[in-house]
Amino acid sequence: MWSLAWPWVLLALPLPWLARRLLPEARDQSEAGLRVPSLAGFETLRERSGTEKMLNWRFWVALLAWCLLVIAATRPERIGDELEVPVAGRNLMLAVDLSGSMDQKDFELAGRKVDRLTATKAVASDFITRREGDRIGLILFGERAYLQVPLTFDRETVKVLLLEAEIGLAGEKTAIGDAITLAVRRVHEQGEDVGDQVLVLLTDGANTAGEVPPLKAAELAQQIGLRIYTIGIGAESMDVTSLLGGRRAINPSADLDEQTLTAIAGQTGGRYFRATDTASLQDIYALVDDLEPVEEPEAGFRPVKSYFFWPLGVALALVGVLCLSALLQRVRLGSRAEVQAHAG
């Protein structure tokens, strides 16, 4: 789309006409002579009268140059299509437990029984999709903690690598403290000028491995401003078949250390959530969305490219032509007058 930055400058277009109408005409000095010592002057006048047609084209060239100068002063510009401004959100780390207990099939997904990790993958993938503008990282932990995806805006890659995670990939035990410490280190490497820093940690057990105790790791997270939301996953009751063929109810989440998870969240300014089924897990991630809202995208901008130099360049070229023409005419008239003076 084309536009003029200063369209009001077009009001200057009639200025030459107004100047000619309102200002007094300049007196022609060639008509002031009373005595004519020779006919050379008349020859010069005839030469000047012969240039009337030449002056006619000069008028139109000068008029065109003026119009182009005014157009250049309005700063014509081309406005491009609107571009979206990238949203600078928060650093959001996801830590997912891959210990052996995540194989417990006490969740339902699409009407069928699934293990805890499968349900986590489905719900967390939707959560990742909604986090537009955030840098998202993925930590997988079991007996050891691994950085699967560093902080990135590429949400699709995070989802793909989460879906490819397998139970037992990081060992059978649970190193909650090491997972938090790894998140602290990766977030701290981003520098102090980043925005909000959040870790969402999901586990179904207690800290049974690792080098750093969970509460010590939470203290480190608090020092750098890393807010931790902990999720304890696992059903509270589950019917199983006994050796004698009967049915009995058990608590598949007996090993879940809710006290430690609550302390970690409280120490860092986060919250602890309990997910007993797929619906509650979805609600938890939706609540995290509310507690850590996605940054609203700023209004887009349109790139603007100015083209004032084109009419300005043509106008200056036309002025140069007029000046050169006037100079050549003066030289030609002077030379002819000198020849006639010598002849007289």
- Give the mean model confidence (pLDDT) for residues 62-77: 89
Pairing of strands 135-141, 112-114: unpaired
- Count CA atoms within 13 Å of residue 277 on its CB side: 9
pLDDT at 146: 93
pLDDT at 83: 61
Question: Starting from the edge strand earliest in sequence, which strands make up the sheet with 2-4, in order?
Answer: 2-4, 76-79, 304-306
Over the stretch 137-185, which tens digit does the pLDDT of each residue have? 999 999 999 999 999 999 999 999 999 999 988 888 999 999 999 999 9
Top-confidence residue, 170 or 120: 120
CA distances from 66 to 7, 184, 277, 326 (A): 16, 67, 78, 17
CA distances from 228 to 38, 54, 250, 309, 311 (A): 107, 85, 30, 57, 61
- Give the mean model confidence (pLDDT) for residues 9-37: 69
Give the integer Cα–Cα distance in Å for 73 and 311.
Answer: 9
Given a contact cutoff of 8 angstroms between Cβ atoms, the answer to whether 202 and 208 are in contact is no
pLDDT at 34: 46
pLDDT at 287: 93
Given a contact cutoff of 8 angstroms between Cβ atoms, the answer to whether 137 and 147 are in contact is yes
- Give the mean model confidence (pLDDT) for residues 29-33: 49
Classify residue 86 by burial, with Cβ atoms within 10 Å: 0-12, 13-18, 19+.
exposed
pLDDT confidence of 115, banded at 50, 70, 90? Answer: very high
Indicate the DSSP class of residue 83: B
Residue 78: its H or E element: strand 76-79
Over the stretch 196-237, which tens digit does the pLDDT of each residue have? 899 999 999 899 999 999 999 999 999 999 999 999 999 887
Over the stretch 268-305, which tens digit does the pLDDT of each residue have? 999 999 999 999 999 999 999 998 887 655 555 677 88
pLDDT confidence of 39, banded at 50, 70, 90? Answer: very low
Over the stretch 121-145, which tens digit does the pLDDT of each residue have? 999 999 999 998 889 999 999 999 9
Look up residue 300 and give its amino acid: G
Does the pLDDT value for residue 45 go beyond 50? Answer: no
